[in-house]
Amino acid sequence: MKIILSRKGFDSTYGGFPSPVFEDGKLVSIPIPANNNQESSITYDDLNPLNVNLGSFIKELGKKPKVYGATAGHVHLDPDLYEDSLSSNNRFGARLKGWRGLFGTDKAAASKLSNKDTGVNPGDIFLFFGWFNHIINKDGKSVYDNKNKGFHQIWGWLQIDQIIRLNNEAERSSVPEWTKYHPHYLNTEMKNNTLFIAREKLSMDGYDTKCIQGYGVIENYNELATLTEMDPEKNKFYYNQFQENRGKNQSPNEDIKISLWKLPLWFFHEDITKRLGYHNKDNQRTRASWFKDDKYAYLKSTSPGQEFILDLKYYPECAKQWILDIINSGCKSN
């Protein structure tokens, strides 16, 4: 089994601001804006994940979703994991009978995932993470807490049931009717266009997962699912170690570096080539990115970066338990 830490949702380029963690702890990932005419249908006003209307929330913030600085009003609804974000009778045909979680990708990211030797297969699990920050109430309005720039947080999962290569006409013609609203089906211009369909139920050898869906979202903030090292002193220490190891100047800023992660100690495999994808080359820069103490591994993660694959056959059994703990850390009972 492999896990894929997959960066999805608003970022500085697509969207321009973090997804929210509300004052009650509710966690909602905002899907990125669409800038392709083939996807000009679903808007943020149409989406209501966890009873949060995204259009109203964004308006209250006084912000406009952007792609490379240009305002975009439509939505690239991917991955689509919030079952309640659209009603069952929506005009997009996005919740027809049989619907399950979906995720699509293309270009270089798709090539990475489809590599015959190191890519992914049915049964492997995506853990989706993104840029989040806490919301506070100021003078009766929702604003982001400006104590820091935010953090990387795992917010959803999808265990692969089917992999459909949409550029292949035979495979494209076989997609279920309930998938045909998805942007990766609609946008025929994408290269290496690939769609991942979730399993109905999660399955992990040796673990009781009968009550867990094969896809879903973490509804409430839990620091167990936070990737960023949130201790300011440790964050600064390891980030500056990374800078020094690369022959760069230390950062004079006290702000938390979002891409400096704290991970379970088992992530620090003694063979660097077995570590997390994109962070497993045996070279000076990669070695400079990893640290550990007696409890945790620390990683200056690649930024940006999308699909980080980890092959669990090289890791202890507790890695699977970590996946379950993450999934259960803030999600509703299924």
Tell whether 205 and 56 lie within a shared domain: yes
Establish if 309 belongs to a structural domain: no
Tell whether 188 and 78 lie within a shared domain: yes
Tell whether 240 and 175 lie within a shared domain: no
Tell whether 11 and 130 lie within a shared domain: yes
Closest CA to 268 of 284, 246, 286, 243: 286
Tell whether 217 and 255 lie within a shared domain: no
Establish if 316 belongs to a structural domain: no
Q: State the amino acid at position 113 in one-letter form.
A: L
Count Cβ atoms below 10 Å from residue 246 Cβ, excluding itself.
13
**Partners of 198 in the β-ladder:** 160
Spatial separation of the C-alpha atoms in residues 320 and 317, rounded to whole Å? 6
In which domain, by residue range, is 165 found?
A: 2-222
Residue 333's pLDDT is what?
Answer: 44
Establish if 325 belongs to a structural domain: no
Residues 266, 331, 1, 111: is their CA dihedral positive or negative? negative
Tell whether 244 and 205 lie within a shared domain: no
Establish if 117 belongs to a structural domain: yes
Establish if 135 belongs to a structural domain: yes
pLDDT-flagged residues of the chain (< 70): 331-334
Tell whether 24 and 155 lie within a shared domain: yes
Of 222, 245, 279, the position where a domain reaches its end is 222
Of 190, 205, 222, the position where a domain reaches its end is 222
Torsion angle of the four alpha carbons 136, 44, 105, 192, in this order, in degrees rounded to the nearest 10? -150
Spatial separation of the C-alpha atoms in residues 329 and 221, rounded to whole Å? 8
Closest CA to 263 of 306, 283, 305, 293: 293
Tell whether 233 and 189 lie within a shared domain: no
Look at the chain and report how many structural domains it folds into: 2
Establish if 328 belongs to a structural domain: no
Tell whether 74 and 12 lie within a shared domain: yes
Of 187, 222, 257, the position where a domain reaches its end is 222
Tell whether 189 and 258 lie within a shared domain: no
Closest CA to 35 of 72, 79, 78: 72
Q: What is the pTM of this model?
A: 0.96
Tell whether 205 and 234 lie within a shared domain: no
Tell whether 216 and 255 lie within a shared domain: no
Establish if 8 belongs to a structural domain: yes
Residue 331's pLDDT is what?
Answer: 57
Residue 291's pLDDT is what?
Answer: 98
Establish if 120 belongs to a structural domain: yes
